[in-house]
Amino acid sequence: MQDPAAAPLVLVVEDDPHSCRIAVAALEHAGFRCQTAANAGEALAALQRERPQLVLMDFNLPGLDGLQLTRWIKEDDLTRDIPVLAVTAYAMEGDADIARASGCAGYIPKPYDPADLVRETKRLLDATRPGS
């Protein structure tokens, strides 16, 4: 059995409690550890406490939006290598391109199938492993 402390950590940045619960439940069921943040300030504080292996980022956050927060993460030497997976409920044509231009490694529109979230999370983590 895998040591829970050794499981990859995902920071779920999501201001909607229902959406956050769905993401956390799916990821934890798949063997990931999760931390949550409901806004940019909480996310930045979480990034200082423990470096996650991936950030799940909602586009629409109160105050500083998820795309701007992603740009900050990518500009910081300590966090720039963390892959960011963007999610948004207001999916429009071109959003995936906007997310990638902001530094996101992947994009999933809401509502999503939790299995798709887990699959994309694993794909991004596999892509960032040395030798991949």
Domain ranges of the chain: 6-119
Q: What is the pLDDT of residues 34-53, one digit of tens each?
A: 999 999 999 999 999 999 99
What's the confidence (pLDDT) of residue 75? 96
**Dihedrals phi, psi of 33, to nearest 5 degrees:** -95, 150
Which one-letter DSSP state was computed for residue 10? E
CA angle 67, 44, 66 (to 5 degrees): 15
What's the confidence (pLDDT) of residue 2? 56
What token pair was written down for 60?
Answer: 């629409």
What's the confidence (pLDDT) of residue 8? 96
What's the confidence (pLDDT) of residue 93? 76
What's the pTM value of the predicted model, to 2 decimals?
Answer: 0.92
What's the confidence (pLDDT) of residue 88? 85
What token pair was written down for 16?
Answer: 């909607």
CATH fold of 6-119, please? Rossmann fold (3.40.50)
List, as one string, the DSSP characters of 47-87: HHH---SEEEEES--SSS-HHHHHHHHHHSTTTTTS-EEEE
Torsion of CA 75, 67, 103, 114, to 10 degrees: 130
Where the chain has pLDDT below 70, the residues are 1-5, 90-91, 130-132
What's the confidence (pLDDT) of residue 96? 86
What's the confidence (pLDDT) of residue 22? 97
Is the backbone of residue 56 left (phi > 0), alpha (psi -120 to 50) or beta? beta
Q: What is the pLDDT of residues 116-126, one digit of tens each?
A: 999 999 999 99
Cβ(61)–Cβ(41) below 8 Å:
no
